[in-house]
Amino acid sequence: MLALQALYEADVARRAADAVLQRHLAELDHPAPLRQYAAELVNGIMQEREALDQLISALAPEFPPEHLSPIDRNILRIALYEMRRGEVPLKVAISEAVNLAKAFGSESSFRFVNGVLGAAARQ
C-alpha cells in the first residue's frame, strides 16, 4: 500500500517517486523491512516503467496505460513488477493487487486488474 501511495502521487502530481516515498516514510514510523521493500518496489518500477507499460498494453490492448486510472495503472505496475521478479508467488501478487483494487479503485477495478494479471500469469 505504501508503494502504491507513492507511485500514485508521483504519477498524478508529476513528482519524483523516490522523493514522494521518502516523505511518506518520514511521516510514520514503518518497520525497516517494509521501508526497504517499498523502496525496492518504487525504484524498480520507476526503472522499468516503460517495459511494464508495454506489457500492460500487450495484455490489455483496448486499455492503454495512459488511459487507465492512475490507481489501476500503478496497481498493475506493482503486481507485474513483482511477478517479473519471481520473488512473490503469482497467486500472492495477483491477490494483493486485487485487494488493493478493491480498496482504492473503482467498482470494477478489481475485475479488470484480476483479468490483466490472470492473462500475465498464463503467459
pLDDT value of residue 90:
93
pLDDT value of residue 37:
93
The domain spanning residue 87 has which CATH number? 1.10.940.10
Average pLDDT, the chain: 94
pLDDT value of residue 123:
87
**How confident is the model over 20-56, as pLDDT tens digits?**
998 988 887 888 888 899 999 999 999 999 999 999 9
Query: Mean pLDDT over residues 59-64, rounded?
Result: 94
- Number of structural domains (the chain) is 1
SS (H, E, C) the chain: CHHHHHHHHHHHHCCCHHHHHHHHHHHCCCCHHHHHHHHHHHHHHHHCHHHHHHHHHHHCCCCCHHHCCHHHHHHHHHHHHHHHHCCCCHHHHHHHHHHHHHHHCCCCHHHHHHHHHHHHHHC
The whole-model pTM stands at: 0.93
Residue numbers of the domain that contains 20: 2-122
